Structure 1
Amino acid sequence: MLTLLTDNLALWAQGLQNTVTLTLLSALMGFSLALPLALARLSRNRTISGVAYGYIYLMRGTPLLVQVFLIYYGLGSFSRELRDIGLWWFFRDAFYCGLLAFALNSAAYQAEILRGGIQAVPRGTIEAGRVLGLSTVQIFRKIVLPIATARMLPTIGNELVLLLKASAIVSVITVPDIMGQARSLYAQSFDLTVFYVAALNYLAVVLLIEALWRRLEGRNRWLHFAGTV
C-alpha cells in the first residue's frame, strides 16, 4: 500500500485537491442558493413557495448520479446551442458539470436545513428586535440568521461530510478526483490496494472536517444559547 501511495504521490495529490475543491465549492454555491430557496419556502405567496418546494422535492427525490448524467451527458448533446450562447466551455468540462450538479443538489438539502433553523428561532427573540426598532431586514440579518446558522452548524457539517463522500460519483464522468485516480491506477495494476488508499484519503479529509467543525461549533455556542433564552 505504501508503494502505491509514494510512487503515485502526484496523482493522489491531484485527486485529493479536486475532491476537496469540488466539495467546498459546491457547498458554498449550494448555500448561496439555499438561502433564497429557504425564504421562498417560507413565503406566504403560494406560487413562490410551491415553485421552491417543487425544486427541493425534485432534487432530493432523484439520485445524484442521475442529475450528474443529465447535466454532463444530457446538456452535452446540445453542444451547438451551447456554443452559440458561449457556454460550451463550461459544459464540456466534466469537473464543472459535476460541480454544478453537486451545488444544485446540495442547495435543496441546505434549503430545508435553513428553513428548519429559521423556524426554530423563538418568536420572543424576533419581538425583542422589533422593540429595539430594527427593520425586518435588520432583524433577519442581525438576529434570525446568526442564531439559525449557529443551530444548524451540526447538520450543515453532516451535509458537508455526505457531500465529500458523494463526490466519488464524479469519477464516472472522468473527473480525476480521489476515486477517479484510484480507478485509473486499478486499470493499470489490477491491484485492489488502490481502493484502500482512496478510502484512507477520504477518511483523512472527513476527520479534518469534523475537527474543524467541532471548533467552529464551540465558537458559536453562545449564539445557540442566545436563541434559547
Structure 2
Amino acid sequence: MELTTWFTDLLDGNLIFTPQTLGYYWDGLVTTSQLVFLSLLAGLVLAVPLAIGRSSRHRWISLPIYLYTYVFRGTPLLIQLYIIYYGVVFVDGIQESIFWPLLREAFYPALIAFTLNTAAYTTEIFRGAIKATSRGEIEAARAYGMSNALTMRRIVLPSAFRRALPAYGNEVIFMLHASAIASVVTLMDLTGAARFVYARFYAPFEAFLFVAAIYLCLTFAILYFFRFLEKRLLAHLKPA
C-alpha cells in the first residue's frame, strides 16, 4: 500500500518535483554538460599531437608521453581530482597569480583533472588507430611525393579518426558517467543536485532515480550520435 502511494505521489509530482527542485536539476545538467563537453574538447585537442608523438620511433618523444598515459590510465580519476583540487593551493605563488580566481572555484580544477584523464585515454585510442594504418596507404602517399607531415594530415589522421570512432564514442560515454564524481569537490552537477534534493527532502529514491534517468537519456543520445557518425564515415566499408 505504501509503495502504491509513493508511486502515485511520484507521478503527481507531489514529492520533490517542484519548480525549485527542477531548477536545481537543470543547473546540474548545464554544469555536467559544460564540464564533459569542455574536457572532451580540450582532451581531444591534446590527444592528437600526443598520439602522433606516442607513435614516434624516437624514444625521447614517445617515452614521456607513455609515462603520462600510464599514470593517468593507471590511477583512479577520483584520486586525480582530489590531488588537483586540494593540491593546487600548495603550489608556490599560485594564490597571488592571476589564475587563482579561477582555480579556487571547483569547476576549473575538475575540468583540468577530467581533461588530463580523457586526453590520456584518447591518446592511446588514436595511437592504436594510427598504428593500424595500412602500409599501402602510406607508400601510395609517398609515391605521390607527399611529405611525412602532409601524409599524416591527409592520409593517416583522417583514416585513423574513422577507425577510432567506435572506441572514442565509448570514451565519451565513460566520461559522462565519470563526471558524477565532480560533486565530491562541492561542484553542483547532476549528482550534486540529486544529493542536495535528497538532503533537503529525504527522498533518495526519487532524487537519484530521476538523475539516473537523465544520465540514461544523455547516454542514448551520445550513442545514437556516434552510430550516425559511424554510418556516415564508415559507409565505404559496408558490403555492396
TM bin, normalised by shorter chain, reads: over 0.9
Which amino acid is 2:233 matched to? N
Query: What RMSD in Å do the two structures reach over aligned CA positions?
Result: 1.6
Conserved? CA contact 1:64–1:105, under 8 Å: yes
Distance in 2 separating the partners of 1:6 and 1:110: 40
Aligned-partner SS, 2:146: coil
The match for 2:150 among 138, 144, 155 is 138
User: Match of 2:110?
Assistant: 98
Task: Please list every run of 5 or more consecutive structure 2 residues that lacks an aligned counterpart in the other structure.
Answer: 1-9
Gaps in structure 1 of 5+ consecutive residues? none
Find 2:192's aligned residue among 180, 204, 213.
180
Matched with 1:109 is 121
User: What CA deviation, in whole Å up to 9, does each residue of 1:140-169 have, x standing for no partner?
Assistant: 111110110001111000000000000000
1:120 match: 132
Task: Work out whether residues 5 and 197 of structure 1, in 8 Å CA contact, stay in contact via their aligned partners in 2.
Answer: no
Contact in 1 for aligned 2:138/2:151 (Cα 8 Å): yes
The answer to whether structure 1 residue 196 and structure 2 residue 217 are counterparts is: no
**Counterpart amino acid of 2:68?**
Y
Distance change >3 Å, CA 138–CA 6, structure 1 → 2: farther
Cα pair distance change 1:6/1:203, threshold 3 Å: farther
> What do the CA deviations read for 1:40-67 (whole angstroms, capped 9, x no partner)?
2112221221111111111011110011
Shift of 1:5: 3.5
- What is the CA-CA distance between 1:6 and the residue it aligns to? 4.3
CA distance in 2, matches of 1:141, 1:89: 38
1:85 maps onto 2:90 in alignment: no
TM-score (norm 1): 0.93
Size of the aligned set, in residue pairs, is 224
Q: Classify 1:81/1:113 alpha carbon distance in 2 versus 1 (closer, same or farther; 3 Å).
A: same
Report the alpha carbon displacement of residue 75 of structure 1 after superposing the two structures with TM. 0.8
Among 227, 230, 234, which residue is 1:214 paired with? Answer: 227
Does residue 54 in structure 1 map to residue 71 in structure 2?
no
**What SS does structure 2 have at the residue aligned with 1:5?**
coil
Match of 2:150, as an amino acid? Answer: Q
- Percent identical among aligned pairs is 44
CA–CA distance in 2 between the matches of 1:5 and 1:54?
A: 47
User: After TM superposition, which residue ranges in structure 1, 4 or more long, deviate above 2 angstroms?
Assistant: 1-7
Would the aligned equivalents of 2:55 and 2:130 in 1 still touch at CA under 8 Å?
no
Larger Rg: 2
| CA distances 1:156-186 after superposition (whole Å, capped 9, x unpaired) | 0000000000000000001111001001111
The two structures have a TM-score, normalised by structure 2, of 0.89
- State the 1:35 CA deviation: 1.4
Counterpart of 1:150, as a letter, is R
Local SS of the residue matching 1:48: helix
Q: Give the stretch that moved more between structures: 187-196 or 38-47.
A: 38-47
Shift of 1:130: 1.1
Q: Hey, what's the Cα distance between the residues in 1 that align with 2:37 and 2:60?
A: 32
Select the residue among 13, 21, 33 that pairs with 2:26. 13
> Which residue in the other structure is 2:3 paired with?
none
- Deviation of 1:84 after TM superposition, in Å, equals 2.6
Q: Is the 8 A contact 1:117 1:148 kept in 2?
A: yes
In structure 2, the residue matched to 1:28 is 41
